[in-house]
C-alpha cells in the first residue's frame, strides 16, 4: 500500500488542482454564526515544489475560533494525507478486517503514530484500501496532537477524506468533511469543515477532471 501511495503522490505532483476550504462555526441548533472561506489553486514547480495561488482574498467572519498555523498545516498535509513509504515509519498499523466502502472491496487498517515529536503533525484513524490496486479510497480520523497549555488550547476535529480515481488508475483526494464539537475549557464549539479538491489538470493537458 505504501509503495502504491508513493506512486500516487508522484503522479499527483504532476497535476494542478483547486482547493476550496470552508469552515463554519455552528450554534446549538446547527445554524452557522461565523464562517471562513478561501480558494487556492495548487500548482507544482518543475522540481515538484508545491506553490499556492490565492483566488481572491480569504473571507474570515469567524467570531469564536482563531485559525492557527497548525490548522493550515493540517489542511495541506493531514486531511489529504498520502501515506508514502517515507512517511510510513511514523506509524504503526493494525489489520481491522474487510469492508465494502464506496462500492469498493477494501481492507480496513488502523493507523496510529508510533510517537509524536515536538512540532510534528500526524494522522490517527482508519483507512480503507482497495484489495485490487492497494489504493486508499477513504480516511477517517484526526490530526494529532491536540495542543493544550495552561494559557491556550488548539483543538482539531475528526474528519473524513474521500478519494476518487482521477486518471483511471490513481486515487486522489476529492473531498474532506468534518462536523465535530471541540471541547474547550470555556465550553464546546461545534464546527463544520469542508475541503473540495477539484479541477485536476495534468501539466500540459487541455482537459480537466472535476469530481462529482
Q: Is the pLDDT of residue 70 over 80?
A: yes
**What tens digit of pLDDT does each residue of 158-175 get?**
999 999 998 788 899 999
Q: Is the pLDDT of residue 7 over 90?
A: yes
Q: How far is CA 12 from CA 42, 148, 206, in A?
A: 11, 35, 17
pTM above 0.85, yes or no: yes
Angle at alpha carbon of residue 29, lines to 25 and 33, rounded to 5°: 30
Report the distance separating Cα 101 and Cα 67, nearest Å. Answer: 32
Report the distance separating Cα 70 and Cα 113, nearest Å. Answer: 17
Question: For position 211, what pLDDT does the model report?
Answer: 55
Angle at alpha carbon of residue 26, lines to 21 and 30, rounded to 5°: 115
Between strands 104-113 and 147-148, the pairing is: unpaired
Question: For position 204, what pLDDT does the model report?
Answer: 62
- Section 99-114 average pLDDT: 96
Amino acid at each position: 500500500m505504501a509503495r502504491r501511495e508513493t506512486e500516487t503522490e508522484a503522479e499527483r505532483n504532476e497535476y494542478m488542482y483547486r482547493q476550496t476550504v470552508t469552515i463554519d462555526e455552528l450554534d446549538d441548533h446547527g445554524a452557522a454564526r461565523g464562517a471562513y472561506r478561501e480558494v487556492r489553486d495548487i500548482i507544482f514547480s518543475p522540481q515538484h515544489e508545491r506553490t499556492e495561488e490565492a483566488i481572491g482574498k480569504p473571507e474570515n467572519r469567524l467570531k469564536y475560533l482563531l485559525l492557527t498555523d497548525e490548522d493550515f498545516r493540517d489542511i495541506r498535509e493531514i486531511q489529504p494525507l498520502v501515506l508514502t513509504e517515507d512517511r510510513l515509519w511514523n506509524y504503526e498499523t493494525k489489520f481491522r478486517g474487510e469492508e465494502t466502502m464506496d462500492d469498493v472491496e477494501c481492507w480496513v487498517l488502523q493507523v496510529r503514530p508510533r510517537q509524536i515529536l515536538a512540532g510534528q503533525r500526524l494522522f490517527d484513524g482508519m483507512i480503507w484500501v482497495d484489495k485490487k490496486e492497494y489504493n486508499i479510497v477513504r480516511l477517517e480520523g484526526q490530526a494529532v496532537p491536540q495542543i493544550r497549555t495552561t494559557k491556550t488550547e488548539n483543538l482539531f476535529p475528526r474528519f473524513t477524506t474521500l478519494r476518487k480515481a482521477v486518471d483511471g488508475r490513481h486515487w486522489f483526494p476529492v473531498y474532506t468533511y468534518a462536523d465535530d464539537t471541540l471541547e474547550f475549557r470555556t465550553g464546546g464549539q461545534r464546527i463544520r469543515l469542508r475541503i473540495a479538491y477539484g479541477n485536476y489538470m495534468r501539466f500540459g493537458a487541455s482537459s480537466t477532471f472535476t469530481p462529482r
